[in-house]
Amino acid sequence: MLEYQYGRGEITLQSADPKIPPMIANRFCEDERDLSRLVSCYQDALAFTTQKPLSDIITQIRFPDPMRSTKTEDLANLCRKFSGSGFHPCGTLKMGNDLMSVVDQLGRVRHTDNLVIADASIMPFVPSANINLTCIMIGERIGEWIRIQPATYGL
């Protein structure tokens, strides 16, 4: 599992109608640095399975199929085909002060009054961890700011 990856996906609005879902292109493994690290992880994991004491307790390898090739290019194709988000997408409306940022340091949407975002979408980069705790921290932090300084949020 890559906790940090170089590749970046893309989310595109298909319509101004909020009921129409956006297009999400994850683009996993398109960055060669991500792909090569995943493949080396596979190769290391497979090498571990042949060594004691692990080999003594393994009765069967289910994935990748041991009957298939484990050459680098074949493992790379496997990663391209099966890689997923692990349910941790984030950073689609990132916090910051550059042209690509959507919210400011308080979670307020730029150029839009009275709209605040406090969820995984505002992470400016992908944390090197599963993101649930980070989401809770963002919610708690911005919730507290809204409570103690409501005027900053137009309340």
Interface contacts to ligand FAD, rule CB under 6 A: 87-88, 119-120, 130-133, 135
C-beta separation of 120 from 132 below 8 A? no
From the list 70, 88, 92, 96, the catalytic residue is: 88
Cβ nearer to ligand FAD, comparing 86 with 150:
86
Examine the residue annotation and report whether 88 is marked as an active-site residue of this protein: yes
User: At which residue do the structure tokens 């949407």 appear?
Assistant: 109
Min dist. Cβ of residue 20 to ligand FAD (A): 13
Q: Which helix (H) or strand (E) holds 12?
A: strand 10-12
Min dist. Cβ of residue 86 to ligand FAD (A): 8
Min dist. Cβ of residue 40 to ligand FAD (A): 25
Question: Which residues partner with 24 through β-bridges?
Answer: 11
Alpha helices in 106-151 (DSSP H): 132-148
Cβ nearer to ligand FAD, comparing 61 with 115:
115
Min dist. Cβ of residue 128 to ligand FAD (A): 12
Angstrom distance (rounded) from CA 117 to CA 21: 19
Cβ nearer to ligand FAD, comparing 103 with 120:
120
Cβ nearer to ligand FAD, comparing 75 with 95:
95
Amino acid identity at 23: M
Buried (b) or exposed (e) across 134-147, using 16+ Cβ within 10 A? bbeebeeebeebbe
Angstrom distance (rounded) from CA 149 to CA 141: 12
C-beta separation of 32 from 6 below 8 A? no
Residues that are catalytic: 88
